[in-house]
Amino acid sequence: MAKAIIAEATQTAEQFRSQRRAHWMRLFSQQVLPRIILIAVCALFLLPFYWMVVTALKTTPELAKYPPTFFPSALRWSNFRDATHVITFWLYMRNTAIITALTVIASVISNPIIAYGFSRIEWPGRDKVFLLVLATVFVPFPVLIVALFDIFAKLHWVNTYLPLIVPMFFGQAFWIFLMRQFLMGVPREISDAARIDGANEFRIFYEIVLPQALPAIGVISIFAAIYAWNDFLGPLIYLQDASKYTIAVGLAFFRSQHDFQYSLAMAAATIVVIPVIVLFLFFQRAFVEGITVGSIK
């Protein structure tokens, strides 16, 4: 009898121990390990920004030191002012801002109209044509640069902003896709009621559906702004006068000069990167929703 009780007790103790072990294993694999990995990768991902800011603040003698210092011994804030003087920094920033604004306007006009035709009107062959739209995402843009340059040169558009902006009035595949996904979710009934009342399709689009799509339009304007701000190859090819450069081309040009100074380059990079980070922090939700749209398919 007593033996049986002891055996049972050891059995439950063992069970208890193995349960505890399983519990700790689960805790480790679900809470501890992912945290370690994420913190390590996040630290790695923050390193470039840390080094950018630190280098931007170093004095010239400190920059020449070997090995490099982890923290600047004196913060030289005037590097930021100097960086904007060695090149016509604010002119490039202004040019970039103009192109960015026009890109946003063009994208916000064109993509909703096109997406409406792919989502709110039923017509034969629509979804097949839409597959063609999606396929264009995979076309590598650089294979077109020779032809586009030559075509735009013949139109006398080279060295103007037109080659960068005009194509935006004709929609971008990914943004059309984004907008279409959103418009499909707007209830049918609201446009059907207007159709019965005899409203024409453009009025239904403009007065009834578009106001419902404001969140998606917000996402597209953010993506368009980032796209224009970050674009390098386009401005590099089409803009030839230094006075028309965007900041992307201006900084690359700065890089190619022999007196390329690390601290000034990083100060300039910091000023260019900050607006993007601020935009992201303000509109995180829009970014996440825009990126993940249609991934669940």
Q: Which of residues 46-85 bind other proteins (CB under 8 A)?
A: 46-52, 55, 63, 66-68, 70
Tell which one of 12, 136, 243, 257 touches other proteins (CB under 8 A): 136
Shortest Å, Cβ 41 to other proteins: 6
Q: Which is nearer to other proteins, 2 or 147 (CB)?
A: 147
Phi-psi region of 198 (alpha: psi -120 to 50; beta: other; left: phi over 0): left
CA torsion angle 95 97 102 106 (round to 10): 130
Residue 163 exposure: Cα atoms within 13 Å on the Cβ side: 25
Rounded to whole angstroms, the Cα distance separating 120 from 225 reads: 27
Q: How far is the CB of 9 from other proteins (least distance, A)?
A: 27
Residue number, 91 or 117, with CB nearest to other proteins: 117
**Interaction with other proteins in 18-37: which residues (CB under 8 A)?**
29-31, 33-35, 37
Q: Which stretch binds other proteins (CB under 8 A): 12-20, 82-90, 139-147, 207-215?
A: 139-147
Output 3 or 188, the one with its CB closest to other proteins. 188
Tell me which residues in 216-245 interact with other proteins (CB under 8 A): 226, 229-230, 232-233, 236-237
Strands (E), 80-125: none
Residue nearer to other proteins on the CB measure, 9 or 28:
28
Site for other proteins in 76-135 (CB under 8 A): 110, 113-114, 116-118, 121-124, 126, 129, 132-133
> Of the two residues 73 and 136, which places its CB atom closer to other proteins in the complex?
136
Q: How many CB atoms lie within 10 A of CB 21?
A: 10
CA distance 264 to 76: 11
Three-class DSSP category at 268: helix
SS3 273: helix
Q: For residues 166-185, which are near other proteins according to CB under 8 A?
A: 167, 169-171, 176
Q: Is 210 in the site for other proteins (CB under 8 A)?
A: no
Instruction: Tell whether residue 281 is a contact of other proteins (CB under 8 A).
Output: yes
Q: Which residue has the tokens 């992201």?
A: 280
- In the list 149, 199, 210, 244, the residue contacting other proteins (rule: CB under 8 A) is 149
Do 68 and 54 touch, CB atoms closer than 8 A? no
- Give the pair of three-digit tokens for residue 138: 């995979």
Binding test (CB under 8 A) with other proteins, winner from 138, 156, 198, 211: 138
Check whether the bond before 275 is cis (ω within 30° of 0): no
230 with 275: CB under 8 angstroms?
A: no
Does 209 sit near other proteins (CB under 8 A)?
A: no
Smaller CB distance to other proteins: residue 10 or 90? 90
C-beta separation of 267 from 82 below 8 A: yes
